[in-house]
Structure 1
Amino acid sequence: MSTSPPVLTPPLLTEEGGRVREVSVPPLAPRVTSGSLADIPFTNAEQAPDEPAVSRRNPDGTWWDMPARDFAAEVLAMAKGLIALGLRPGDRLAIMSRTTYEWTLTDFAAWAAGLITVPVYPTSSASQARHILQDSRARACFVEDVEQSRMLSAERGNLPALDHLWQFSTGAVGHVVDAGRELPAALVAERRAHLGPHTIATLIYTSGTTGPPKGCVLTHGNFFAEVDNAIELLHPVFRSETSQEASTLLFLPLSHVFGRMVAIGCLRARVRLGHAPSVRTEDLLADLAGFRPTFLLGIPYVLEKIYHTGRATAERRGRAASFDRGARIAQRYGEAVEAAEHGFGGGPGLGLRAARGLYDALIYRRIRAALGGRCRYVICGGSPLGHRLAAFFEGAGVTVFEGYGLTETTAATTATPPLKPRLGTVGWPVPGTALRIADDGEVLIKGEHVFRGYWDARSERAVPHLDADGWMPTGDLGALDSEGYLSITGRKKDLIITSGGKNLAPAPLEDWLRAHPLVSQCLVVGDNRPYVAALVTLEPDGLAHWRRMHKKEHLGPAELIEDADLLRNLQQAVDEANSQVSRAESIRRFTVLPRDFTEEDGHLTPSLKLRRAAIVRDFADEIDRLYAP
């Protein structure tokens, strides 16, 4: 890997009919032709034995660094144990746990033993976990705690291939290590020698918004293509240009490809990596304050929550107007920076810089403190952040690199290029990637990071998922601007066609509404209906703050969702969202539901995507009332 900033090559654009239909960016990193992810800990131990590989949290909240040589030794010891316990090359090993050190250790140890890892969301139900373990024919599974162990123990009769079920919290790692103490290290070296870029590294199961989850077959080469180019592209993130070493605290699930890719990228780039298993606000804030990362991996919800929490705190102190002025200054500053980097202006003027300096002490420093105090970059994905918040965080001193990707593309397939942001878009293709917009607006992808195909349990191989020209259809709708920046406008299967024949994608409206502090979830409806309407659920923290400020703590849930002041505030949010679309696409009516959409009720996937069909089915009466005369 290079240590100097890369020279970004402008995208190659192909126009058809007066608009950009295709864009590609050449790779920044050389293609890996031998070896596997299993080699990373051992290469680090050989080349930089004393550099921190991971950081571990002490019970008192402080952190200690584990050097590369020690991490490699733990990987080796665990890999020997897995071999001693009878696991053969190509066997599948499942991991069901929150984001912990043991997760990453097991991942690399399994690879070093020649195994294929299979993530299972820690919040999965028995039926969801059973499906993944059955479909992958996993021979072993690690779980985090006793509840997960009991759940899967009750399913053992349905899992004939599962020979081992181990629990991290009762010393599973030590048990496995003990089993392999007498084995020579050469056995692990032999297993690693048989791996290559084309070897399957993992099966990651999709969220299953419309049916049972499918296993995406990702190779070691897929991950190398993804992380090596991402490291080079996001040079200021992974290669600290200050005296502060680059570091990140990972709190997103490692069962999701986004978190997994960054964890691998950190070890590949020798970036100090920590794990935060709890995402409860107070726990996460304490971990961030103790670890003090220089960059974070997040989803829009996290940044929205930080923004809304900051404003709610200001409102409680009687300083809401000051916060709002500061927010406007930050947005203007971020927009001026963007314009200058594209050659459209001279950047923030003297007055704007002075105003930003004033509000930095009053507001922005508190925002950065919530991220640990040293965080200057956030890699954000999952759904669009939106121009307003992206500009605000840039003005507050935190650059957000937005991206877009799928499990099938080993996480990011586009990213905001450094020093060339286009706020509100998901950036350019990651180097080594080509994008095309099909005639119907679907985004198509090519690149070395594109998966091998979907897992077929009967043949135990991947079934390719490419069209006749070698493009992978994503199911997402998008558009390319004149410089090759991609905007995602919705899901192809989610398109709503009103009875008047108007086609619209619900995602932009839903994303805009979810950015409001009172809104938790939103589902836009209107298929075969005369107009567009919405189901809205309330965000607990935002609602609690609203009740305090409006002195409505006495209202019960049924009274609250019919409260005129609350509905008026929500209508203002709907009006703001409607201002982004045409009259025919705007939300005419909405209803507030008495409960949130949850994974337990079958309304959300483990990655918090809406299961639209299930919601429409379960709230059919509420939807019908939205269209009653």
Structure 2
Amino acid sequence: MPREDDPPQLDSIHHPTTETAAGTKGVAVTEFTIPAVVPADPDANITDLLVERVKETPNRALFAVPDGSGWRDITAAQFHEQVIALAKGLVAAGIEPGDKVGFIARTTYDWTLVDFALFFAGAVMVPIYETSSSSQIAWNLTDSGAVACIVESEDHAARLEEVRGDLPLIRSVWAMHAGDLDRMVSEGTGVEDDEIERRRNLANGDDIATLIYTSGSTGRPKGCVLTHSNFVELSRNCFVALNDVLTTPGASTLLFITTAHVFARFIS
């Protein structure tokens, strides 16, 4: 009999072998599966993760950002408020549900803020590595069908400008270094809370949350479609598995890998 503290029992184990064209046996593949700790919710989307966190622990610090010679905490409620404000700005700027928006930036607090604001506005982010060349930027934006792009720095803006003429679908470019996001927030004050609530509830688990592109080391970068369920189920199950790490008072996670890829984004 397994003890209560034993790991979950394997649900199934398979030992398939592959056959080559000549009929000889290939490499054996062993597959292990275990049941999910948290049952899947097909109606949930990524915005629910933040809404639930705000309801449960509104005053809990979610982020710490540099402030002078120290750090300043941003609570769940404060982050949610900033997300809603930026989402309203995106709506006022013409972003529609399902629109794909490119984003070129370093790993910072603002990266996650923009990410969630796009989700709340009903949009789909297309993250682009901050080191991508102009041609790679053009390919990712064209292949994804993005209609707008947010850039962090003058360098990012210059690289995008080099290929702007090849991007007829891009109707708007917003530069963080030029204060465009702050202006966007100011211009979004007339958008009603109900409109953001409506938009954030449009997506279900099977809908596209983001398109993440490969680095292109073996050819054209390839877009990987990730749904809301991909992130929701991963986050909820990993929260249980990492409970001691995530709920210990004062615990923190330092991120320095790119949030343009999936692991750091899941942690965020």
TM-score, scaled relative to structure 2: 0.89
Shift of residue 229 of structure 1? 1.9
1:211 is aligned to: 219
1:261 is aligned to: 266
What amino acid sits opposite 1:228 in the alignment? R
| Alpha-carbon distance in 2 for matches of 1:70, 1:129 | 33
What amino acid sits opposite 2:109 in the alignment? Y
Cα contact 1:205–1:215 (8 A) shared by 2: yes
In structure 2, the residue corresponding to 1:53 is in which secondary structure? strand
Q: CA 1:48 to 1:210, structure 2 compared with 1: closer, same or farther past 3 Å?
A: same
| Alpha-carbon distance in 2 for matches of 1:72, 1:6 | 37
| Alpha-carbon distance in 2 for matches of 1:201, 1:246 | 28
Q: CA 1:109 to 1:233, structure 2 compared with 1: closer, same or farther past 3 Å?
A: same
1:246 is aligned to: 251
| Alpha-carbon distance in 1 for matches of 2:197, 2:32 | 42
1:420 is aligned to: none
| Alpha-carbon distance in 2 for matches of 1:116, 1:184 | 21
| Alpha-carbon distance in 1 for matches of 2:247, 2:160 | 42
What amino acid sits opposite 2:253 in the alignment? T
| Alpha-carbon distance in 2 for matches of 1:186, 1:54 | 27
| Alpha-carbon distance in 2 for matches of 1:172, 1:136 | 23
| Alpha-carbon distance in 1 for matches of 2:255, 2:63 | 11
What amino acid sits opposite 2:229 in the alignment? G
2:20 is aligned to: none
The reply on whether 1:59 has 2:64 as its aligned counterpart is no
Q: CA 1:175 to 1:160, structure 2 compared with 1: closer, same or farther past 3 Å?
A: same
| Alpha-carbon distance in 1 for matches of 2:196, 2:127 | 22
Cα contact 2:134–2:163 (8 A) shared by 1: yes
1:13 is aligned to: 13
2:158 is aligned to: 150
Shift of residue 209 of structure 1? 2.3
Shift of residue 245 of structure 1? 2.8
The reply on whether 1:231 has 2:239 as its aligned counterpart is yes
Unaligned runs of 5+ in 2: 18-27
Shift of residue 246 of structure 1? 2.4
The reply on whether 1:122 has 2:130 as its aligned counterpart is yes
Q: Deviations 1:215-259 (Å, cap 9, x if unpaired)?
A: 11111001112222222223333333xxx4321111110011111
Shift of residue 69 of structure 1? 1.1
Cα contact 1:6–1:28 (8 A) shared by 2: no
| Alpha-carbon distance in 1 for matches of 2:143, 2:121 | 22
Shift of residue 142 of structure 1? 1.1
2:50 is aligned to: 41
What amino acid sits opposite 1:58 in the alignment? D
Q: CA 1:24 to 1:42, structure 2 compared with 1: closer, same or farther past 3 Å?
A: closer
| Alpha-carbon distance in 2 for matches of 1:45, 1:235 | 18
| Alpha-carbon distance in 2 for matches of 1:66, 1:154 | 37
Q: CA 1:20 to 1:108, structure 2 compared with 1: closer, same or farther past 3 Å?
A: closer
Cα contact 1:53–1:65 (8 A) shared by 2: yes
The reply on whether 1:29 has 2:30 as its aligned counterpart is no
| Alpha-carbon distance in 2 for matches of 1:212, 1:6 | 47
| Alpha-carbon distance in 1 for matches of 2:220, 2:29 | 36
| Alpha-carbon distance in 2 for matches of 1:172, 1:248 | 29
Q: Deviations 1:266-307 (Å, cap 9, x if unpaired)?
A: xxxxxxxxxxxxxxxxxxxxxxxxxxxxxxxxxxxxxxxxxx
Unaligned runs of 5+ in 1: 264-629
Cα contact 2:49–2:232 (8 A) shared by 1: no
2:196 is aligned to: 188
| Alpha-carbon distance in 1 for matches of 2:247, 2:147 | 39
Cα contact 1:55–1:63 (8 A) shared by 2: yes
What amino acid sits opposite 2:86 in the alignment? M
Q: Which one has a bigger Cα radius of gyration?
A: 1
Cα contact 2:88–2:185 (8 A) shared by 1: yes
* Relative contact order, higher structure (CA 8 A, sep 6+): 2
What amino acid sits opposite 2:254 in the alignment? L
The reply on whether 1:200 has 2:208 as its aligned counterpart is yes
2:21 is aligned to: none
Cα contact 1:82–1:110 (8 A) shared by 2: yes
What amino acid sits opposite 1:178 in the alignment? S
Q: CA 1:195 to 1:7, structure 2 compared with 1: closer, same or farther past 3 Å?
A: farther
Shift of residue 146 of structure 1? 0.5
Shift of residue 15 of structure 1? 4.3
Q: Deviations 1:357-392 (Å, cap 9, x if unpaired)?
A: xxxxxxxxxxxxxxxxxxxxxxxxxxxxxxxxxxxx
Q: CA 1:21 to 1:41, structure 2 compared with 1: closer, same or farther past 3 Å?
A: closer
In the alignment of these two chains, the number of paired residues is 254
Shift of residue 131 of structure 1? 0.5
Within 5 A, what are the aligned runs for 1:512-531?
A: none
Within 5 A, what are the aligned runs for 1:379-390?
A: none
Q: CA 1:232 to 1:45, structure 2 compared with 1: closer, same or farther past 3 Å?
A: closer
Cα contact 1:39–1:112 (8 A) shared by 2: no
Cα contact 1:13–1:20 (8 A) shared by 2: no
